[in-house]
Chains A and B, each alone.
Chain A
Amino acid sequence: MSKHHVTTNINGEPVEFLCEAQQTMLDVLRDELHLTGSKEGCGSGDCGACSVILDGKVVCSCLMLGVEAEGRKVITIEGIAQGDKLHPVQQKFLEHAALQCGFCTPGLIVAAKALLDENLNPTEEETRYWLAGNLCRCTGYDKVIRAVLDAAAVMRGEPGASVST
């Protein structure tokens, strides 16, 4: 079986890769490009651990074929921080202890960034519904929601919450 040649842009860098027709974008990211930050929790679009931003929209990379990346722009968890400067969502996840095992964390952070790209002032309810496609079994979501709302505040230029006591 001959492989397909795909030209795309991942995390701001032009990327070319070869993939088989049945390979998902998640397979390509993880197995071909060694970007293993995106996780496979279900392979069926139910858990959100593989979330990436495709041309500005959150998608499950397990539901997207690798060949569909042709000519598109993909942002993965590896592209959220700028060098050694964490995105506010990442920083707030750390400060609020919004991760326990950390496996769903990349997908949650990608999805939360996409939310804040669209809406810098989400309510708790909007945040909960936006993140309803990202399963987390450890945290009960409490600290995740607080972290995202706090990151939004910081991005709006407000001081944000102080967590350390």
Chain B
Amino acid sequence: MTYLDKASLKVVGTRPIRPDGVDKVIGRAAFGADMVLPGMLWGKVARSPHAHARIKSINIDKALAVPGVKAIVTSADLPAIPSEEAFVGEGPMNFRDLSSNCMARGKVLYDGHAVAAVAATSPAIAEEAAALIEVEYEVLPHVIDVEDAMKPDAPVLHDDLFTQGIDPKPAKASNIAKRITFTKGDFAQGWKEAEVTIERRYTTQPVHQAYIEPHACLVSVGADGQCTIFSSSQGQFMVRAYCAKLLGIDIANIRATPAEIGGGFGGKTLVYLEPVALALSKKAGKPVKIVMSREEVFRGTGPAAGGVIEVKYGAKKDGRLVAAELVVKLQAGAFPGSPVGPACMCGFAMYDIPHVNIVGYDVVSNRPKVAAYRAPGAPNSTFGTESCLDELAIELKIDPLKLREINAAKEGTKAAHGPTWANIGYTQTLDAAKAHPHMKIALGPNQGRGIASGFWFNIGGESAASVYVNEDGTATVVEGNPDVGGSRASMAMMAAEVLGIAYERVRAVVADTSSTGYCFLTGGSRVTFATGMAVTQAAEKVVVELKKRAAMIWDISPDAVDWKDGKAYPAGPNAGSFEPLSLGEIALKAGRTGGPISAEVSINAQGAGAGFATHICDVEIDRETGHVKVLRYTAVQDVGRAIHPSYVEGQIQGGVTQGIGWALNEEYVYDKHGRLDNAGFLDYRIPVASDMPMIEAVMVEVPNPRHPFGARGVGEVPIVPPMAAVANAIADAIGTRMRDLPMSPPKLRAALDLQDPPRLAAE
């Protein structure tokens, strides 16, 4: 059944208060660090001070001698596991690499890499003991920059890493983990046909997801091997799968409970602490809690990849694109697995271009292993492709929005990375942007306006959900996806719509791994789509059962029962004449009509709808300081159907703000030894309230026919256009193109000084 007719909806599309809201505004919600267990120990991880070094020895004697220390673990306490691709998190992962990332084995590969961990009776003792662990290092040459890491004479991180995707297989190990290509048409031919060509190079910086809640977990290992894990993550089933593999534990022996998660954005789609805490707990025979400091979060987790993006466009003078090329060199951090694939695929996805050539490189270097971050990869490539398209528009003297309209992907367009688009709403975002009053606001001196578009796939995947009808006619929804931004509300709304009862009569809970069926993690903008589909189907099965029970009470055929507004009705005069039976009345009699009424649905949801967005950004440049102020921001996005519009707007506003931070401020600063110099929120500055204007989220609704309510994933595409939108606005304001992120005051000042040499001379 589908519910695509918006006019018929009573609950979906409204803005009720989320069921977990009150706990979160009174301080009662339990996040990763908020729980305790009797007899619990505190863990602390000892980390490498070197960017690249061989571990010659680890002496734990002094640390063990500290009163209160109960256990110490190193990589020797984690089983050595073979290389094996993992498909339980978001993006590429190898179990062996993840184990070595949790606890360095043989070598440390970045400043902050975990080398040992202590469990003690207090946080202070654990910290004191961790500092007493003596690690003898042989310091090795290191490499931080992506292109430096690709050079033939670069220090090699892994001597068993040979570039994949090159034939024949290279004889020499390198830091280039793989090379990938996508082609459509014949780029060389298209380039010849072009009347105007443009080639530019752009760079992005790795940035941290910067969730405000540091990683935290509380675990317990019993003498019989049964484990409990309470931790902050984007997927309790992901935590369970990784811990089982990394420690050689049967999955049935792990019960992982999701804490409330204090932000993730992709950065909590893998484990850092949980396996270490389990090893400590096993050794000590007591529960162990570990909470990272902010410095540890910066040095040891995330970030999102950054890299080099080279773009070529060939166009006719009328603006039609005939050829495009994209080369992406992306940071993977210490282990292979940057999101170079999606980066390659997203850059040109908004356009219909006949001849395309795309090459991507996945490159390791002595930085923390990258983790997913909202549309992983796409912001990097799109900063390049959407900045370059703006440069082309200037060259062609065509309005940038018009240039996008001319080339926009539509129904039936074959994308450069393969698929043929169906049911997409890209042109609708352009239409809405064009019609928006924002476009008509006059700009003052040193002000500029930029537009940029973006694409993200969105995914479906495995989800399970149950709907239980309670004795009083209320209902409980149970599912397994941590709620990062209001998904409990959306789940309850979809169930309420199907059941025909009030939203407040349905409560949704996110259950532990032993209390609900398997759900792939919260990522890929999948939860409202995939888990929402499971919830909807479970509610539909409940309705079938409710009709059956009504038919039993009336002694008629179930086919002769209709369900409307939460009540069973005889389908017509032939069915008989009965007073309607409400869900509550049927629930009350459930014991006499066959027992409790519930349904569970497990699916692998297919048909996630592509997400397209077009953003408009106005900036003002302070020519004295080089500061860029974002004056106005309008983000238009095809959201399919907004189940809870406020939380859809919230995803858009939050993603835009993260993108603005990436555009203007955020970067890592490494010293010459490869040590991170800005591992804190003072020096790694994310946007604060006074940096931002209001952000107008414009929701275009082109329903996704593959979802019962038409929903598309909405969480990720908002971070894709902002960097180019800001850069294009800056170029419009000052006439200078900024091609290297972040577009921070020193870089703006340098650009302005080139424009204004007399002032430079006067200073």
- Give chain A residues whose Cβ lies under 8 Å from the Cβ of B653: 139-143
A-facing residues in B473-516 (Cβ within 8 Å): 484-486
Q: Tell me the bound Cα distance from A64 to B16 in angstroms.
A: 38
Which of the residues B34, B655, B681, B695 comes within 8 Å of A36, measured between beta carbons?
B34
Contact B15 A163 (CB under 8 A): yes
Q: 1/0 per residue B24-62: CB within 8 Å of A?
A: 111111110110100000000000000000000000000
Which of the residues B484, B655, B688 comes within 8 Å of A135, measured between beta carbons?
B688
B-facing residues in A133-161 (Cβ within 8 Å): 133-146
Contact A138 B213 (CB under 8 A): no
Q: 1/0 per residue A31-72: CB within 8 Å of B?
A: 000111111111110110100000000000000000000000
Q: 1/0 per residue A18-41: CB within 8 Å of B?
A: 001010000000100011111111
- Give chain B residues whose Cβ lies under 8 Å from the Cβ of A74: none
Given A36-B30, A132-B688, output 10 extra A-B contacts at Cβ < 8 Å: A30-B33, A37-B28, A47-B212, A86-B22, A100-B647, A100-B651, A101-B485, A109-B25, A140-B655, A140-B658
Q: Is B657 an interface residue (CB 8 A)?
A: yes
A-facing residues in B676-708 (Cβ within 8 Å): 680-682, 686-692, 694-695
Q: Tell me the bound Cα distance from A134 to B486 in angstroms.
A: 21
- Give chain A residues whose Cβ lies under 8 Å from the Cβ of B31: 39, 103
Contact A163 B646 (CB under 8 A): yes
Nearest residue (CB) in B for A147 is: B25
Q: Is B540 an interface residue (CB 8 A)?
A: no
Which of the residues A41, A95, A145, A164 comes within 8 Å of B213, measured between beta carbons?
A41
- Give chain A residues whose Cβ lies under 8 Å from the Cβ of B25: 86, 90, 93-94, 99, 102, 105-106, 109
Contact A137 B658 (CB under 8 A): yes
Q: Is B668 an interface residue (CB 8 A)?
A: no
Q: Tell me the bound Cα distance from A29 to B651 in angstroms.
A: 32
Contact B213 A97 (CB under 8 A): no
Contact A143 B262 (CB under 8 A): no
CB within 8 Å for A140 and B695 given contacts A94-B25, A101-B485, A102-B29? yes
How near does chain A come to B304, taking the closest CB pair, in angstroms? 13
Contact A104 B260 (CB under 8 A): no
- Give chain A residues whose Cβ lies under 8 Å from the Cβ of B421: none
- Give chain B residues whose Cβ lies under 8 Å from the Cβ of A138: 263, 484-485, 650, 654
Q: What 4 A-B pairs have minimum CB-CB distances, sorted nearest first?
A: A37-B27, A103-B262, A102-B24, A140-B657
Contact A101 B692 (CB under 8 A): no
Which residues of B approach A to under 8 Å, CB–CB?
14-18, 20-22, 24-31, 33-34, 36, 124, 209-214, 260-265, 291, 293-294, 484-486, 644-647, 649-651, 653-658, 680-682, 686-692, 694-695
Please classify the interface of chain A as helix (H, G, I), strand (E, B), loop, or mixed, using the class held by over half of its residues. Answer: loop
How near does chain B come to A33, taking the closest CB pair, in angstroms? 12
How near does chain B come to A11, taking the closest CB pair, in angstroms? 11
Contact A99 B484 (CB under 8 A): no
CB within 8 Å for A141 and B689 given contacts A46-B681, A164-B14, A164-B15? yes
- Give chain A residues whose Cβ lies under 8 Å from the Cβ of B656: 140
- Give chain A residues whose Cβ lies under 8 Å from the Cβ of B657: 139-141
Q: Is A81 an interface residue (CB 8 A)?
A: yes
List 8 interface pairs A-B (beta carbons < 8 Å), by A numbering. Answer: A76-B27, A81-B26, A97-B650, A100-B654, A101-B211, A136-B689, A138-B263, A164-B16
Nearest residue (CB) in B for A97 is: B646
Which residues of A approach B to under 8 Å, CB–CB?
20, 22, 30, 34-44, 46-47, 49, 76-78, 80-81, 86, 90, 93-97, 99-106, 109, 124-125, 127-129, 131-146, 163-165
Which of the residues B24, B649, B682, B686 comes within 8 Å of A143, measured between beta carbons?
B649
Q: Tell me the bound Cα distance from A106 to B695 in angstroms.
A: 23
Nearest residue (CB) in B for A37 is: B27
Q: Tell me the bound Cα distance from A141 to B124 in angstroms.
A: 35
Contact B682 A44 (CB under 8 A): yes
CB within 8 Å for A96 and B646 given contacts A101-B261, A109-B25? yes
Contact A42 B294 (CB under 8 A): yes
Q: Tell me the bound Cα distance from A101 to B3 in angstroms.
A: 29
**Max chain B C-beta neighbours (<10 A), residue from A20, A42, A133, A134:** A42
**Max chain B C-beta neighbours (<10 A), residue from A96, A131, A136:** A136
Nearest residue (CB) in B for A143 is: B650
- Give chain B residues whose Cβ lies under 8 Å from the Cβ of A141: 653, 657, 687-689, 692
Q: Tell me the bound Cα distance from A42 to B685 in angstroms.
A: 13
Contact B212 A135 (CB under 8 A): yes
- Give chain A residues whose Cβ lies under 8 Å from the Cβ of B210: 137
Q: Tell me the bound Cα distance from A128 to B656 in angstroms.
A: 17
Q: Tell me the bound Cα distance from A101 to B483 in angstroms.
A: 8
Q: Tell me the bound Cα distance from A2 to B331 in angstroms.
A: 50
- Give chain A residues whose Cβ lies under 8 Å from the Cβ of B692: 128, 140-142
- Give chain A residues whose Cβ lies under 8 Å from the Cβ of B646: 96-97, 143, 163
- Give chain A residues whose Cβ lies under 8 Å from the Cβ of B294: 41-44, 46-47
Q: Tell me the bound Cα distance from A165 to B353 in angstroms.
A: 41
- Give chain B residues whose Cβ lies under 8 Å from the Cβ of A101: 211-213, 260-264, 484-485
- Give chain B residues whose Cβ lies under 8 Å from the Cβ of A36: 27, 30, 33-34
Contact B681 A47 (CB under 8 A): yes
- Give chain B residues whose Cβ lies under 8 Å from the Cβ of A143: 646, 649-650, 653
Contact B27 A94 (CB under 8 A): no
- Give chain B residues whose Cβ lies under 8 Å from the Cβ of A22: 124
Contact A94 B21 (CB under 8 A): yes
Nearest residue (CB) in B for A98 is: B650
- Give chain A residues whose Cβ lies under 8 Å from the Cβ of B28: 37
CB within 8 Å for A94 and B22 given contacts A135-B686, A137-B212, A140-B692? yes
Q: Tell me the bound Cα distance from A110 to B208 in angstroms.
A: 27
How near does chain A come to B209, taking the closest CB pair, in angstroms? 8
How near does chain A come to B665, taking the closest CB pair, in angstroms? 13
- Give chain A residues whose Cβ lies under 8 Å from the Cβ of B262: 39, 41, 101-104
Contact A128 B212 (CB under 8 A): no
Nearest residue (CB) in A for B263 is: A101
